[in-house]
Amino acid sequence: MMSYYDYNGALSLLEKAMKATKTIDPDAVDALAECYRKLGNLSKAESTYSWLLKLGNYSAEAHKYYGEVLMYFEEYASAKEHFETYMNIVGNDPLVKRHITACDTAMRWMIKRDSSVFKVMNETTLNTKYSEWGAIIMRDNRYITFVSDRGATGSTGINLLRPYRTRKPVHQAEQTGSSRVSRASVVSPLYTLLDDGYNIGPMLYTSNGRKMFYTRTSVTGETVDEGIAILDRKLEIEEATLATGNKVTRTKLFEYNKPTEYSVGHPCLSPDEKTLYFVSDMPGGYGETDIYFSVLTAQGHWSEPVNAGPVINTEGREMFPTMDSTGILYFSSNGHPGYGGLDIFRAKGEKNHWVAIENLRAPVNSGGDDFYLIFNRGMEDGYFASNRRDGMGSDDIYYFQLTGPLPDIGYIEAPQTFVQIIEKRTVRGSVMEEETGNPVEGVSLSLLEKATNNVRYATTDANGNFSFELDENTNYILSYIKDGYVPVINFEFKTGNRVAMQKQRLDLKMKSATPVVNEDIVIDENIVLDLEQGSGIEYSVQILANKEYPDWNYLTRARETYPQYKIFYGSFPDAFTRFTIGRFKQLKEANLLMKELRKIGYADAFVVMFVDGKRKVISYH
């Protein structure tokens, strides 16, 4: 989604130059490997990177890219070695660190393959030697649209992506034991009036079929350097109004397109069609490309884009968002742990509040790029795309059927918790009152894994019991609180090996106490912004304390990123003005927001307590 080279032209020049000279230039071999990798010819990329490393004169990035290519071939142990070599040379690289975790993840998944409810097959009636993807059933349920670069060629000789339509293939089981019969049909170009740009597609339709959103690629500049064309291509979102017969009557640009600076593409609508998700490499994101969202206002305009947050977005690429009829988000990422390339994930939540995420695993995911998963009506089958090794062309459309209901997504409270893919054991425990030995119900426990800063939560039941799924030989920090008891903060422990964990328990005690409220700190009601009178105990996240005139600019990013939360401020006897954001009944909700705020620059954010709408200092005797 950034600037692109004409890798076909570069490849041709490099191959000619290398044949014309007897001297092997490692820089030329490195460039050759990059061309193969960028063009998706990963077999030649693998052999060329192997050749480069044997030459002994190469950059550290060669190990990184060779590792990524090896993941495509599911050579995870070798890929991990090259990633670790790269890290030893250049130091910490968050994305490569994720790749190392992904290699460990994939090797475990390969050894212990879980049963899957997905039955996957190549949609051979649609695929060619070219690229086909973005399949979606049209509203009449008779036709399917998809995009392909099979027909059109641009001025540079590169095939262009265009939308096509054909009758929906018919899938059925045969008594002969074959998995399916698929009826072929004529494939026709679609929306030819739109063919005045570069790539066009994929297409997204509203439920009534009257509007269509799609991605258009535009070339915003071109320079030539030693015969190599450098094209600056950016994505834009367009909206089209459709008339009878699926004809385009008018189009308009998404108001937040900015092709001179960044890309905006891959639109996706929520089930109520009031939230538009999309992908962009605009400044201020977490990685190469992030997923953003805009909300439809009462005036019919889309609100300013907001980042979907660090639970979804990583240092890598998050792309191709889609949503099913229940509001589950599907997207592709090369930053979250997976098999290699882009893997398809699903997430529970909305906008920038996501509480669960998981990799769909094989057979949906592979070592290649797997992306753009769409469910058909009824949520029983659908399509996705992949450039996996057993395909017919560059990218292929794959059809899937569900053989059973999709399991619920595991609950995740903090960014990257799903990374914990080591074999887990259930460790049980209890909380008892120290004075009486009676069980304490409703204790809130938070568990921090020291190595990753991932947080998990639990609450004791009526018998004071709780449990966590923990990794073996891992250091944890446990904190637990309940009104009327002395809080226990930062209790450290380490799990044993697999055998020891079978007997390991966390039997905890709490001292009862009467809270004494210190009224010395009082909020000045006259300068509180949007103050709502709360009741009981609430939690918020403090992001700023200032003795001078309030720095309103410092709060801008918090306001823009979390428009759903109000910012509260008040003056105190120590001459500080303190700013907090949000009000939560649950401590774990405030903790999650605190982590997200730290990710976007509020490094000193911390959780504070409010009693009946007022900030309090609590001491225990």
Per-residue model confidence as pLDDT tens digits over 158-192: 678 889 988 888 775 433 333 444 555 678 888 77
Tell me, yes or no, whether 415 lies in a domain.
Answer: no
- Closest-CA residue to 372 (of 273, 263, 246, 267): 267
What whole-number distance in Å separates Cα of residue 57 and Cα of residue 68?
A: 20
294 pLDDT above the threshold of 90:
yes
Task: Tell me if 370 sits within 8 A of 343, measured CB to CB.
Answer: yes
The pLDDT, as a whole number, for residue 544 is 80
What whole-number distance in Å separates Cα of residue 313 and Cα of residue 329?
A: 13
Indicate the average pLDDT of the chain: 79
Residue 507 tokens, joined: 């039997």
Domain boundary among 513, 532, 560: 513
The pLDDT, as a whole number, for residue 570 is 61
Tell me, yes or no, whether 413 lies in a domain.
Answer: no
> Can you spell out the DSSP letters for 149-199?
EEEEE-TTS-EEEEEEEEEPPP----TTS-S--------EE--GGGTTSS-
Pair (527, 609) in one structural domain: yes
- Element (DSSP H or E) covering residue 38: helix 26-38
Pair (293, 268) in one structural domain: yes
Q: What percent of the chain has pLDDT over 90?
A: 28
Domain boundary among 513, 544, 579: 513
The arithmetic mean of pLDDT across residues 445-466, rounded, is 81
CATH of the domain at 80: 1.25.40.10
Locus of tokens 């008779």? 142
Task: Tell me if 394 sits within 8 A of 40, measured CB to CB.
Answer: yes
Pair (100, 190) in one structural domain: no
Report long-range pairs for 196-201 (Cβ below 8 Å, ≥24 apart).
198/154, 198/160, 198/233, 199/149, 199/160, 199/161, 199/162, 200/147, 200/160, 200/161, 200/162, 200/163, 201/134, 201/147, 201/161, 201/162, 201/163
Pair (562, 497) in one structural domain: no
The pLDDT, as a whole number, for residue 136 is 92
Q: Report helix, strand or coil for 501.
A: helix
Pair (91, 168) in one structural domain: no
Three-class DSSP labels, 185-240: CCCEECCHHHCCCCCEEEEEECCCCCEEEEEEEEEEEEEEECCEEEEEEEEEEEEE
Pair (570, 601) in one structural domain: yes
What whole-number distance in Å separates Cα of residue 160 and Cα of residue 299?
A: 36
Task: Classify strands 444-449 and 475-481 as parallel, antiparallel or unpaired.
Answer: antiparallel
What whole-number distance in Å separates Cα of residue 304 and Cα of residue 16?
A: 49
What whole-number distance in Å separates Cα of residue 285 and Cα of residue 483?
A: 39
Pair (347, 492) in one structural domain: no
The pLDDT, as a whole number, for residue 271 is 95
Pair (61, 194) in one structural domain: no
Tell me, yes or no, whether 416 lies in a domain.
Answer: no
Compute the Cα dihedral for 306, 308, 309, 310 and give only its sign.
negative
Pair (465, 606) in one structural domain: no
Range of the structural domain that residue 385 is part of: 118-402
CA distances from 41 to 36, 387, 557, 609 (A): 5, 11, 42, 57
CATH of the domain at 320: 2.120.10
- Closest-CA residue to 187 (of 238, 123, 244): 123
Residue type, 461: D
**Domain count within the chain:** 4
Q: Which of 159-168, 422-431, 519-528, 601-610 has the lowest mean pLDDT?
A: 519-528
Tell me, yes or no, whether 279 lies in a domain.
Answer: yes
- Strands of the sheet with 290-295, listed across from one edge: 264-269, 275-280, 290-295, 306-307
16 pLDDT above the threshold of 90:
no
The pLDDT, as a whole number, for residue 192 is 73
The arithmetic mean of pLDDT across residues 279-289, rounded, is 93
What whole-number distance in Å separates Cα of residue 433 and Cα of residue 465?
A: 13
Percentages of the chain per state (helix, strand, coil), in multiples of 5 = 20, 40, 40
200 pLDDT above the threshold of 60:
yes
CA distances from 480 to 367, 445, 447, 517 (A): 41, 4, 9, 20
Question: 243 — phi, psi (to 5°)?
Answer: -105, -175
Tell me, yes or no, whether 135 lies in a domain.
Answer: yes
- Strands of the sheet with 396-402, listed across from one edge: 118-122, 396-402, 381-386, 370-375
Q: Which of 266-270, 287-291, 588-592 has the lowest mean pLDDT?
A: 588-592
Locus of tokens 């890309």? 263
Task: Tell me the pLDDT tens digit for each residue of 393-440.
Answer: 889 999 999 998 888 775 433 333 233 333 457 788 899 998 888 999
Pair (523, 503) in one structural domain: no
- Closest-CA residue to 455 (of 502, 490, 407): 490
Compute the Cα dihedral for 90, 95, 96, 100 and give only its sign.
positive
Give the residue, 137 or 518, on which the prediction is more confident.
Answer: 137
The arithmetic mean of pLDDT across residues 138-144, rounded, is 83
Compute the Cα dihedral for 52, 54, 60, 66 and give only its sign.
positive
CATH of the domain at 499: 2.60.40.10
User: Exposed, middle or buried: residue 604 (CB in 10 Å: 0-12, 13-18, 19+)?
Assistant: exposed
Locus of tokens 């605190």? 594
Task: Tell me the pLDDT tens digit for each residue of 479-491.
Answer: 787 767 776 766 7
Three-class DSSP labels, 49-74: HHHHHHHCCCCCHHHHHHHHHHHHCC
The arithmetic mean of pLDDT across residues 283-302, rounded, is 93
Residue 100 tokens, joined: 């190392």
- Element (DSSP H or E) covering residue 33: helix 26-38
Give the residue, 95 or 133, on which the prediction is more confident.
Answer: 133
The pLDDT, as a whole number, for residue 572 is 54
Task: Classify strands 343-350 and 329-333 as parallel, antiparallel or unpaired.
Answer: antiparallel
The pLDDT, as a whole number, for residue 402 is 93
Pair (259, 132) in one structural domain: yes
Tell me, yes or no, whether 412 lies in a domain.
Answer: no
Pair (384, 343) in one structural domain: yes
What whole-number distance in Å separates Cα of residue 329 and Cα of residue 189?
A: 29
Tell me, yes or no, whether 408 lies in a domain.
Answer: no
Domain boundary among 88, 111, 134: 111
Query: 264 - beta bridge partners?
Result: 280
User: Exposed, middle or buried: residue 538 (CB in 10 Å: 0-12, 13-18, 19+)?
Assistant: buried
Task: Classify strands 505-510 and 424-433 as parallel, antiparallel or unpaired.
Answer: parallel
Tell me, yes or no, whether 215 lies in a domain.
Answer: yes
What whole-number distance in Å separates Cα of residue 118 and Cα of residue 405?
A: 10
